[in-house]
Amino acid sequence: MATRLPTNWAAVGFLLVLVFAWGGNYTWVKMALDDIGPWSFNAMRYLGAALLLGTIFVVSGRGRILLPIPGERLALAFIGLLQVALMTGFTTLALVFTEASRVVLIAYSVPVWALLWSLVLLGEKLTRIAALGAALGIGGLALLAPPDALSWDAATLSGIILALLGTQAWAIGAVLYRQRRWRTPFWSQIFWQVGVAAVAMVPAALFVEGFGAWRDTTTLRVIVLYNVVVPTALGFWCWAQALSRVPAATASQVLVLSPIFGMVQSHFVLGEALNESIWAAAAAVSLGALLVLRGDRPA
């Protein structure tokens, strides 16, 4: 017992870094969109991240395992399109239309949607605890859009729909990922999926927004560099370190704190409101996700 405690606390430390890096990044992306289009921003951050990860692989002498093993490349590319390109593509577009606090709460309802998609795609059984968590999570999402407190214009509705679409892509990708046992090393998977996202985003940005669809500001440079290094390279390194110490289900429970941190940060940095409906939604979504993650025994 004495030897496990430091390891567990180390895992908590790595996961708290992820709460900051992943949950708080919606605030910074929202700020960046003042200077750049959403397509161009995603193209920049994923192209930069792919180049950084590729360089780290080559310099560390692991260039021979840069790509996934044959037979897994197509499947991992498809999952990368879902979880990286489509997820961040839709949520970044959502940030153009609505508050970062709403987008981050919708995004982190993914355990609820992954549970529902696993019922459809894999025929898995629903436990009582997981069913309660799904109901809480969906109820929390409904609280994000109270008819009497939200301006139901086309922009707001578009933002909510886009965030939900991104979350569905992430959830389906998560279900497909755990459907099989992968032989490709973790970091090769990350490089491949980020690279696939860059390949998809660069031509899309050129087609939709064209060249020079940004203002070259210090803020934009810092946020793009931050996204390349912190949420991507450092973030996935922390995730790998945490998973080497605790089970994935346990690690995911700590990440339930991410939307809470994200919406509080957006309040102080962007001045977004934290009213009763937002707090109630945050409590319901977070508790629902936690129950879904813990509901691992058949009813």
Residues 252-283 pLDDT 10s: 888 888 999 999 999 999 999 888 888 888 88
* 113 found inside a domain: yes
Q: What is the pLDDT of residue 219?
A: 96
pTM of the model: 0.88
Split at pLDDT 50, 70, 90, the class of 298 is very low
Residues 20-49 pLDDT 10s: 999 999 999 999 999 999 999 999 999 999
Q: What is the pLDDT of residue 144?
A: 73
Q: What is the pLDDT of residue 148?
A: 52
* 249 found inside a domain: yes
DSSP 142-170: HHTS-TTTS---HHHHHHHHHHHHHHHHH
At residue 233, what is the residue type? A
Q: Give the integer Cα–Cα distance in Å for 30 and 43.
A: 16
**How confident is the model over 79-97, as a mean pLDDT?**
95
* 45 found inside a domain: yes
Q: What is the pLDDT of residue 245?
A: 84
* 299 found inside a domain: no
> How high does pLDDT run on average in the chain?
87
* 125 found inside a domain: yes
Give the chain's domain count. 1
Q: What is the pLDDT of residue 299?
A: 43
Could you list the residue range(s) of the whole structural domain that residue 111 is in? 4-294
Which residue in 23, 19, 7 sits closest to 243, CA to CA?
7
Q: CB-based contacts of 128: which residues, under 8 Å, 6+ apart?
A: 295, 299
